[in-house]
Amino acid sequence: MIFRLDERLIFPDPALAEPDGLLAIDGDLSIERLLLAYRSGIFPWYSDDSPILWFSPHERFVLYPGALKVSKSMRHVLRSDRFTITQNNCFAKVMEACSQIERPGQDGTWITNDMKMAYCQLHALGHAHSVEVWEQGNLVGGFYGVQVGNIFCGESMFSKASNASKTALIWLCQSGRYELIDCQVHTDHLESMGARMIPREEYMTMLRNNT
């Protein structure tokens, strides 16, 4: 059953989500609702031509920093000092770059103008963060996401140079700031770095223990 949200600041039980993870539609992207969503294991994912869609997958694709796999070739890249890493240096630019990346099988982007405005507000309040990768003064990679206690809920990443987004993720995992990186959606790229599926119940336990 898919629930329709109204002005009340509530979400249904995430366990009631459809097999594809879709839980609810409508509502808004207010700061209060977004924070409640992430603290409840829910995130928005939709496009300009649809209502706001709220998802809570039955399995979560996550990366435990201690399980991070760094290949020999990546270790060489990291030692080369080819890239410079910053955090929260240009959040809006990272979101914009993520919205412009072409992804196979996707028509357009879920990073709508409303999403950009909402997440920039989250960033201004200290709830959303970006990691930037620079090469010779140019922004060539990075990602952004929402912090929930000691969990980083990754939203999107981009790379305009080989290994740039991998470098950003390795930096985050090695920063010691998070117990879990929520990758949300499976990719072979992230699986090769140690990410794996866990049941929603395990993810929700992590949320409860870290908020």
Q: Which domains does the chain have, with CATH numbers?
A: 3-58 (3.30.70.3550), 61-210 (3.40.630.70)
Residue 4's pLDDT band, with cuts at 50, 70 and 90, is very high
**Is the per-residue pLDDT at 73 higher than 60?**
yes
pLDDT of 108 reads 47
69: nearest Cα among 190, 161, 186: 190
- Phi, psi angle pair for 22, to nearest 5°: -65, 125
pLDDT of 80 reads 92
What's the pTM? 0.92
**Is the per-residue pLDDT at 104 higher than 80?**
no
pLDDT of 103 reads 57
Residue 39's pLDDT band, with cuts at 50, 70 and 90, is very high
pLDDT of 110 reads 77
Largest CA distance in the chain: 52
List all residues 6 or more positions away from 133 whose beta carbon is below 8 Å from its beta carbon. Answer: 83, 84, 85, 139, 140, 141, 142, 159, 161, 164, 165, 167, 168
Question: How many Cβ atoms from other residues are within 10 Å of residue 85's Cβ?
Answer: 18
Angle at which helices 113-124 and 91-100 cross, to 10°: 150
